[in-house]
Amino acid sequence: MAISMKPAWLNKKISLRECTEVKTLLKDLRLNTVCEEALCPNIGECFNKRQATFIILGSICTRACRFCGVTKGIPLPIDTDEPRRIAQAVEKLGLTHLVLTSVTRDDLADGGAAVFAETVFFLRSKNGKIMIETLIPDFQADAQALAILVNAEPDIISHNLETVSRLYQDIRPTGASYNRSLEVLRRLKNIAPLIPLKSGLMLGLGEKEEEILNAFDDLMKAGCSYLSIGQYLAPSLQHIPVKEYLAPEIFKKYEEEAYERGFKYVKSGPYVRSSYAAADYSVALR
């Protein structure tokens, strides 16, 4: 059963004035961000801090996950000039920690791994000090595709599990797999044991506490070091509805549970998203 009323702790307001400068920059450079495409509730806060998470490989996803606000359909051709424009944005925004993500591109043989790698290489050639986190789709868990990404040596590789195993068929009915996502993390850990792995879960979709803790255990066994835990918020009435709003103290409890299981850095709260305050995770690298 869906819940219609948001509780008091979910009252973050988006100030369009705080977004104007960054939105104009992104529009001028023809760049896509998860902040805008996924209708992130943190957009005002992040844009005001001159932070953004860039979406490469276009803005149209080949899958149709029922929680996601990104456009679904037939993707456009790859934009080979995109890395240059991202580098421009990085310089203008003064970013020291960059998150690159993408839509899922099942139409590409490598899922877009080569484009991720080329983008990382190009950005490093322009700024050797920037920390780069790649938030990747599953690449069908293809070992060669994952190796292409690893060869670019991002500082952190992130792949979101999103939800518990039981809910996958309903929430991610087209192509995604709980076990495949865990296999992605396992294979990455095997071929690049020194690159920290990160994953994210969203709560409020009907999962049970035992299932959440089992997901923590599964991620730890797969080699994951960092974890984000946030509240699912439906992007529109056409998306799967929220089943439960979890109180901040419940998120705090799950944060403590995750640390007890061995995670090195955890962010857990109603407004936490996988790329939210991403630079904080890099503290654990030092």
DSSP classification of residue 242: P
- Our count of domains for the chain comes to 1
Examine the pLDDT at 282 and tell me if it is beyond 70: yes
Domain presence at residue 5: no
Q: Residues with Cβ < 8 Å from 202, sequence gap 6 or more?
A: 67, 162, 163, 229, 230, 231, 232
Q: What are the C-alpha distances in Å from 64 to residues 18, 60, 153, 181, 188?
A: 31, 10, 30, 16, 25
How confident is the model at residue 236, as a pLDDT? 85
Domain presence at residue 40: yes
- pLDDT band at residue 20 under the 50/70/90 scheme: confident
The CB-side HSE value for 173 (13 A sphere, CA atoms) comes to 7
Domain presence at residue 138: yes
How confident is the model at residue 285, as a pLDDT? 61
Token pair of 16, please? 């369009």
Domain presence at residue 9: no
Domain presence at residue 218: yes
Domain presence at residue 234: yes
Question: pLDDT digits over 43-93, tens only?
Answer: 777 888 888 899 999 999 999 888 888 888 999 899 999 999 999 999 999
Q: For position 199, which CATH number holds?
A: 3.20.20.70
Examine the pLDDT at 161 and tell me if it is beyond 70: yes
Lowest mean pLDDT among 127-131, 156-160, 184-188: 127-131
Mean pLDDT of 187-202: 97
Contacts 24+ apart (CB under 8 A), 212-219: 212/164, 212/254, 213/257, 214/164, 214/165, 215/161, 215/163, 215/164, 215/165, 216/257, 216/258, 216/261, 216/263, 217/261, 218/161, 218/182, 219/161, 219/182, 219/185
Domain presence at residue 157: yes
Question: pLDDT digits over 89-129, tens only?
Answer: 999 999 999 999 999 999 999 999 999 999 999 999 999 99
Range of the domain at 169: 16-285
Percent of the chain with pLDDT over 90: 73
Dist. CA 131–CA 123, nearest whole Å: 10
- Note the pTM of the prediction, 2 decimals: 0.93
Dist. CA 166–CA 170, nearest whole Å: 9
Mean pLDDT of 216-241: 94
Domain presence at residue 1: no
Dist. CA 271–CA 96, nearest whole Å: 23
Nearest to 130 by CA among 279, 274, 29: 279
Examine the pLDDT at 167 and tell me if it is beyond 90: yes
Lowest mean pLDDT among 80-84, 223-227, 269-273, 282-286: 282-286
Mean confidence (pLDDT) of the chain? 91
How confident is the model at residue 1, as a pLDDT? 56
